[in-house]
């Protein structure tokens, strides 16, 4: 089928919930993808930070094929071998003690909200339920995670929203401290905001937040759905800041391309969940967790983190050089291979020009070009991408 025929059928049968580009991707390998008409693209979107090892990584592909021939699903009424292995890998390489598996970042964050409330009610009473989140955050599309997302544009049309959330500006510790009340049970934030424009926590900010949580008896939740699993050059973004959360959520890159989410917690906090308190039929299924084991094992053993850190520094250097050339580039920010280039003009036109020239990037928050290439990206591929981006900027 051609791009045009797939687009026409999609418009006829698929709900209109995405502003889709007029092409269909049908094949991928490494950092490259091909559309239905055979055109090749260098992929710096990476499935929105999902394809951390690129497309069709041989180890992940082999693991999926092998598991699909053995057992795809059996439910969590029974122990699942690859699920246990993935949980072990996550715990042994993080500051966490227990794992609950879901199917997406939104589900992982939904679980974090439930766990925080359950813990608070067990330890402090019924009045503790409120969670403070940050402006420009993004936590998911369920009603609860949508409400936790402190961006009004995502709330429109869904009132009444669930109660129990309060918003403050990111990196404004004074506003955060003033927002805490006797109802507050947790503070939830992304160490590096992705959808909100690649905004990093300021030096010292997370230390102050952690201290506040300890002082007030609050849980600290880090949403690492986008910035976790090697995206920053370390396995988890919290490692850059030296601050350990009580709860952490993961998804996107965890399955090497297969849908999966995870809720991790410290032992005492995780104990608030008992049988019957939370569940997910497909969560932690054999296929997804086998893919996760292969992906995470590859990241840990094949030097991927060091390569991602080096590649991220190289890409950031190239983007900063562009900032010196073009007056409409306001700032370049981010860590590792989650980088944002903020413009003083809308970025959609630049995304379109890059697409025409064979480079996939995306624009978030209207004016921030976001770069999420696979962690295995090479310097040659970065040079190729920056060359295409430069041509697009010249046209602006």
Of 118, 128, 210, 252, catalytic: 252
Residue 311 falls in which region: left (phi positive, over 0), alpha (psi -120 to 50) or beta: alpha
Distance CA 126, CA 185 (A): 10
Structure tokens at 123: 């330890």
Q: Are 99 and 262 in contact (CB under 8 A)?
A: yes
Of 43, 165, 222, 223, catalytic: 223
Bridging pattern class, strands 247-250 and 199-200: unpaired
Residue appearing with tokens 């952490």: 248
Distance CA 54, CA 267 (A): 34
Q: How far is CA 253 from CA 76, 90, 113, 224, 334, in A?
A: 23, 13, 21, 10, 17
Is 252 one of the annotated active-site residues of the chain? yes
Distance CA 377, CA 385 (A): 11
Is 241 one of the annotated active-site residues of the chain? no
Q: For the chain, report the end-to-end CA distance as a whole number of angstroms.
A: 34
For 145, phi then psi, to 5°, come to -70, -30
| Residue 274 three-state SS | coil
Residue 234 falls in which region: left (phi positive, over 0), alpha (psi -120 to 50) or beta: beta
Q: Which of 355, 95, 126, 112 is nearest to 237 (CA)?
A: 95
Q: How far is CA 215 from CA 120, 222, 362, in A?
A: 15, 18, 40
The angle that helices 304-325 and 286-301 make with each other, rounded to 10 degrees, is 80
DSSP 52: T
Residue 197 falls in which region: left (phi positive, over 0), alpha (psi -120 to 50) or beta: left
Distance CA 118, CA 128 (A): 9
Of 44, 101, 138, 222, catalytic: 138
Backbone Cα Rg of the chain: 21
Distance CA 318, CA 289 (A): 36
Q: Are 195 and 160 in contact (CB under 8 A)?
A: no
Residues known to be catalytic:
138, 223, 252
């Amino acid at each position: 089928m051609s791009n045009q025929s797939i687009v026409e059928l999609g418009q006829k049968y698929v709900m209109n919930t995405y502003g889709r580009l007029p092409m269909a991707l049908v094949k991928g390998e490494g950092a490259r993808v091909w559309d239905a008409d055979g055109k090749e693209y260098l992929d710096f979107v990476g499935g929105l930070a999902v394809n951390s090892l690129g497309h069709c990584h041989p180890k992940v592909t082999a693991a999926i094929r092998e598991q699909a021939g053995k057992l795809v699903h059996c439910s969590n009424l029974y122990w699942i071998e690859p699920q246990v292995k993935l949980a072990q890998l996550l715990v042994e390489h993080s500051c966490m003690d227990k794992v609950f598996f879901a199917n997406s970042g939104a589900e992982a964050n939904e679980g974090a909200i439930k766990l925080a409330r359950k813990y608070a009610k067990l330890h402090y009473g019924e009045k503790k339920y409120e969670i403070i989140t940050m402006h420009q955050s993004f936590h998911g599309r369920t009603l609860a995670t949508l409400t936790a997302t402190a961006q009004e544009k995502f709330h429109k049309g869904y009132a009444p929203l669930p109660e129990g959330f309060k918003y403050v500006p990111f990196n404004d510790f004074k506003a955060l401290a003033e927002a805490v009340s006797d109802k507050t049970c947790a503070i939830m934030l992304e160490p590096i905001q992705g959808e909100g424009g690649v905004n990093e926590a300021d030096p010292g900010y997370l230390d102050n937040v952690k201290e506040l949580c300890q002082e007030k008896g609050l849980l600290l939740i880090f949403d690492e759905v986008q910035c976790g699993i090697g995206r920053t050059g370390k396995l988890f973004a919290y490692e850059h800041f030296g601050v350990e959360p009580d709860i952490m959520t993961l998804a996107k890159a965890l399955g090497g391309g297969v849908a999966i989410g995870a809720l991790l917690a410290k032992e005492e906090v995780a104990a608030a969940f008992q049988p019957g308190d939370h569940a997910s039929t497909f969560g932690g299924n054999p296929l997804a967790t086998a893919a996760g084991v292969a992906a995470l094992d590859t990241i840990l053993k094949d030097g991927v983190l060091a390569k991602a850190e080096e590649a991220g520094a190289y890409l950031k250097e190239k983007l900063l050089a562009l900032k010196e050339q073009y007056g409409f580039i306001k700032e370049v920010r981010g860590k590792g291979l989650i980088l944002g280039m903020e413009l003083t003009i809308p970025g959609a036109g630049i995304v379109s020009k890059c697409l025409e020239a064979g480079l996939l990037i995306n624009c978030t928050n209207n004016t921030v070009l976001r770069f999420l290439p696979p962690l295995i990206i090479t310097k040659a591929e970065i040079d190729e991408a920056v060359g295409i981006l430069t041509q697009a900027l010249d046209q602006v």
